[in-house]
Amino acid sequence: MREYEILMIVGVVSMLVVEIVWEIWERVSKEKKDREKESAYECGFNPFMEERSGYEIRYYRVGIMYIIMDVEISYMYPWSIGMGEIGKEGMIGGIIFMIILGIGYIYEWKKGGIEWE
């Protein structure tokens, strides 16, 4: 636990710095909100509708794929560390795990899930 004391100090100090800067900003800044200032600019006319654009599903797909690969890495790290202790069965189990996920990757590749366009 002692080795994490420094991390805790760093975390607390960084939060303090952020808090101090925020408080200074709140006290010093002059903000005069206006209806015109807050609304979207549409060449001088009043905004017809909200300015949100269409939803791009590609970003969500990339996020999901990243999560799956992250979880896979988190399983593979103890496997690699304990390779000497887990024996042949453990090694084969890890390889089977990777093969199962590899089938998923091949499906994704063939279906064009990795393509951006």
Q: Tell me the C-alpha distance between 52 and 68, whole Å.
A: 29
Q: CA-to-CA distance for 33 and 14, rounded, in angstroms?
A: 31
Q: Using the rule CB under 8 A, is 116 a contact of another protein? A: no
Chain residues 8-47 in contact with another protein, contact rule CB under 8 A: none
Does residue 5 bind another protein (CB under 8 A)?
no
d(CA 4, CA 16): 18
- Contact segment (CB under 8 A) with another protein among 14-22, 25-33, 36-44, 76-84 equals 76-84
Our CB check for another protein shows the closer of 42 and 109 to be 109
Kindly state the tokens that stand for 33.
């909100």
Kindly tell me which of 35 and 52 has the beta carbon lying closer to another protein.
52
Give the whole-angstrom CA distance, residue 61 versus residue 55.
Answer: 12
Q: By CB under 8 A, what part of segment 79-98 binds another protein?
A: 79, 81-82, 85-86, 89-91, 93-94, 96-97
Radius of gyration of the chain (CA): 26
- Give CA–CA dist 111/106, Å, rounded: 8
Residues lying near another protein in the complex (CB under 8 A) are found at 1, 4, 50, 52, 55-57, 59-61, 63-68, 70-72, 74-75, 77-79, 81-82, 85-86, 89-91, 93-94, 96-97, 100-101, 103-105, 107-108, 111, 113, 117
